[in-house]
A and B are shown apart, each in its own frame.
Chain A
Amino acid sequence: MRLSDNIKCSLVSWITKISIWKFFLLLLAVSFVIFLVQSVLPVFSDSHDLHRLAGEELALNGRGKIPSCVSCHGLQGQGDAKIASPRLAGLHPSYIKKQLEDYARDPLKTRAFVEPIARDYVKTPRTYGDLTVFTPGTRYDPKMNGLAKLLSAEDRHNLAIYYSKLAFVASPKAYDFETLERGEDLALRGKPEYGLPSCDSCHGPGGQGFGAIFPPLAGQPVTYIIAQINKWQAGKRDNDHLALMRNIADQLTDGDKVNVAAYYDNLSYSVNSE
């Protein structure tokens, strides 16, 4: 008889030796202990909630040189259309964190490059100028660049957790029929004859966002959406994955921006709310 068989035999004999009631009692005791441990553990280490509270403190009151976020982004993180400040409530935490990192990154340290060859602008409705400077992985904003450099990595994490938990309900606004119809056509079908994909094919149905990479368009102020597309065309924002958005922004005309932003402003949308 081999050693493995011996071990098997001893196990079988042990199980048959103890009575079936004892076996069940043992199982019950083990499961009860596991249940206790599981229910007690979160009390000692609810780090998620701690991050959220720290983020809330920083967002509402600021710290030292860091001003409070609510002065521009609103008390509920709903954004401000007047100064083109985006909604932060309910965005994906990884997305918020990445944007803060890109704001803080020094454009001089990235491998900036100039597009040297002028394209044929007569043929396609492209709007940005020649010799655009692209700085991959950075996002330019006069206010946020200085501000994000003051934040530590932990601050960014805390703020991301706090804002991703906030509830938001959009209030749809009225626009004229023609604007909405054109906006809808662009949002759902894009411009296939120019090779431009639809917005919803990445930003999710109804522009509700998809995952950590594709942010929601619904519920964002119109001015913010238009300002961001302008920044992409000017090379001031170049932090998208695979240059997806840069390629698309190149092909949008001024009318397209207004129409599609109006379409998403007209949609009803809510996040984190019952």
Chain B
Amino acid sequence: MKRILLKWVFIFSFYHVAVLPVAAQELGQTLDSLEVRPSLVNSRLSLPTQLTQVHVISPGEYFAPPLVADIPDDRFGDMVRMGRNIFIKTGVYAKRYAGNGLNCSSCHLQEGRKPHGIPLWAAYGRYPMYRHKTRTVVTLEERIQDCFIYSMNGIAPTLDAPEMKALVTYTKWLSKGAPVGVDLPGRGLPNISRTQDLDPKRGKIVYETRCELCHGKDGKGQKHTNGEGYMFPPLWGRDSYNKGSGLQRVRTLAKFIKGNMPLGASFSLTNQESLDVAIYIWLQDRPRNPKMSQAMDFFFPNMAR
């Protein structure tokens, strides 16, 4: 309760009054995301030590999942293909359960394969596990249900739904050869240190120089040219994840940004930059938390979240 109160105080005192209108002018920067500026583009130059910081990956450092071309041509393989379709086009193949414009692969990057991008192959061997959010031991299926409720802002598929079976099958196939019960390197998100010095003003500038190019000026993402689904996923607004999801936690979002964004330049933002832009995104409007607003669901059952 205290946390929620603090949050609203924060929102009203900073967001509406002071932060957004004056953030750019105060720092005296004219913002043009299309302009090429080496000082902002190059992480090396923005580091205080002027040292090169390159995320170097050795061959064999991370687990390599099997190739899509190697999916077997049998009933099991059909289920894997269905799971992969659901995973990369959730709004099409699991339409009845999806509530927004995201796909599974919007967060689990590169079809759930990218290390430090919440890979599926690292998660499969860890479930069932104790989860602090629910304070129970959850199975992989229950975890996927939570994904649909919060991150997909939709309805949880039942445990015997074909979509659920397909997703679990795809996860199992993707983690072929991965050890069980071991924390594999590249699991989940990279760890970053805590800091108290978060500033959405700086975050706005980071957003406008690094993120806006793809996710759009208003953070609503960009749709495909044929109008179906999102090419670049929305970060806030009606079609984004809701307030109960994991990425609504600032530090989790900062970890995700640090490890994966911008595409192809992982670990190029500093910890401070990723935390700043995470709190800027956290301040924006998005669908409400379904578990914290059951009264709304009771009195207005048809109202969109």
Specify whether A and B are partners: yes
Q: What's the minimum C-beta distance from B172 to chain A, rounded to whole angstroms?
A: 18
On whether the beta carbons of B67 and A185 are closer than 8 Å, the reply is yes
A7-15, A33-41, A193-201, A254-262 - the one binding chain B: A193-201
Residues of chain B within 8 A of A137, CB atoms compared: 36
Q: A113 on the interface (CB 8 Å rule)?
A: yes
On whether the beta carbons of B67 and A111 are closer than 8 Å, the reply is no
On whether the beta carbons of A192 and B110 are closer than 8 Å, the reply is yes
Residues of chain A within 8 A of B265, CB atoms compared: 242-244, 247
Q: A248: nearest residue on chain B (CB-CB)? A: B264
Q: A189 on the interface (CB 8 Å rule)?
A: yes
Q: A128 on the interface (CB 8 Å rule)?
A: no
Q: B56 on the interface (CB 8 Å rule)?
A: yes
Q: B125 on the interface (CB 8 Å rule)?
A: no
Q: Which of B36, B52, B119, B264 contacts A247 (CB 8 A)?
A: B264
Task: Flag B260-297 by CB within 8 Å of A: 1 or 0 each.
Answer: 00111110100000000000000000000000000000
Residues of chain B within 8 A of A204, CB atoms compared: 224-225, 231
Q: How far is the CA of A201 from the CA of B222 in the complex (A)?
A: 12
Q: How far is the CA of A213 from the CA of B232 in the complex (A)?
A: 13
On whether the beta carbons of B111 and A189 are closer than 8 Å, the reply is yes
Residues of chain A within 8 A of B109, CB atoms compared: 192, 197
Q: A117 on the interface (CB 8 Å rule)?
A: yes
Q: What's the minimum C-beta distance from A228 to chain B, rounded to whole angstroms?
A: 16
Residues in A112-149 with C-beta less than 8 Å from chain B: 113, 117, 119-120, 123-124, 134, 136-137
Q: How far is the CA of A244 from the CA of B113 in the complex (A)?
A: 20
- The count of chain B contact residues (Cβ–Cβ below 8 Å) is 45
Residues of chain A within 8 A of B64, CB atoms compared: 193
On whether the beta carbons of A123 and B58 are closer than 8 Å, the reply is yes
Q: A121: nearest residue on chain B (CB-CB)? A: B56
On whether the beta carbons of B264 and A113 are closer than 8 Å, the reply is no
Residues in A188-242 with C-beta less than 8 Å from chain B: 188-190, 192-198, 201-202, 204-205, 208, 210-211, 213, 239-242
Known A137-B36, A244-B265: A193·B57 in contact at CB below 8 Å: yes
Q: What's the minimum C-beta distance from B4 to chain A, rounded to whole angstroms?
A: 36
- The count of chain A contact residues (Cβ–Cβ below 8 Å) is 39
Residues of chain B within 8 A of A188, CB atoms compared: 68
Q: A154 on the interface (CB 8 Å rule)?
A: no
Q: How far is the CA of A184 from the CA of B69 in the complex (A)?
A: 10
Q: A111: nearest residue on chain B (CB-CB)? A: B38
Q: Which of A119, A184, A211, A243 contacts B42 (CB 8 A)?
A: A243
On whether the beta carbons of B225 and A197 are closer than 8 Å, the reply is no
Q: How far is the CA of A196 from the CA of B265 in the complex (A)?
A: 9
Q: How far is the CA of A227 from the CA of B24 in the complex (A)?
A: 40
On whether the beta carbons of A189 and B113 are closer than 8 Å, the reply is yes
Residues of chain B within 8 A of A134, CB atoms compared: 38
On whether the beta carbons of A119 and B38 are closer than 8 Å, the reply is no
Task: Flag A168-198 by CB within 8 Å of B: 1 or 0 each.
Answer: 0000000000000100110011101111111
- Report how many A-B pairs have Cβ atoms within 8 Å: 101
Residues of chain A within 8 A of B119, CB atoms compared: 192
Residues of chain A within 8 A of B65, CB atoms compared: 192
Residues of chain B within 8 A of A197, CB atoms compared: 109-110, 263-264
Q: B115 on the interface (CB 8 Å rule)?
A: yes
Q: B213 on the interface (CB 8 Å rule)?
A: yes
On whether the beta carbons of B115 and A208 are closer than 8 Å, the reply is no
Residues of chain B within 8 A of A192, CB atoms compared: 62, 65, 109-110, 113-115, 117, 119
On whether the beta carbons of A117 and B68 are closer than 8 Å, the reply is no
Q: A123: nearest residue on chain B (CB-CB)? A: B58
Residues of chain A within 8 A of B5, CB atoms compared: none
Q: B55 on the interface (CB 8 Å rule)?
A: yes
Given contacts A193-B61, A243-B265, 11 further A-B contacts (CB under 8 A): A113-B42, A120-B56, A123-B59, A124-B57, A185-B69, A190-B110, A192-B119, A193-B63, A195-B57, A195-B115, A241-B36
Binding site for A on B (CB under 8 A): 33-34, 36-38, 41-42, 45, 51-52, 54-59, 61-65, 67-69, 109-111, 113-115, 117, 119, 210, 213-214, 222, 224-225, 231, 262-266, 268
Q: Could you pull out 25 A-B pairs where Cβ atoms are within 8 angstroms?
A: A113-B38, A124-B58, A136-B36, A137-B36, A189-B110, A189-B113, A192-B62, A192-B109, A192-B113, A193-B57, A193-B59, A193-B61, A193-B63, A193-B64, A193-B113, A195-B115, A204-B231, A205-B224, A210-B222, A210-B231, A213-B34, A213-B213, A242-B210, A242-B265, A244-B262
The 3 closest A-B pairs by CB, nearest first: A192-B113, A192-B114, A117-B52
Binding site for B on A (CB under 8 A): 111, 113, 117, 119-120, 123-124, 134, 136-137, 181, 184-185, 188-190, 192-198, 201-202, 204-205, 208, 210-211, 213, 239-244, 247-248
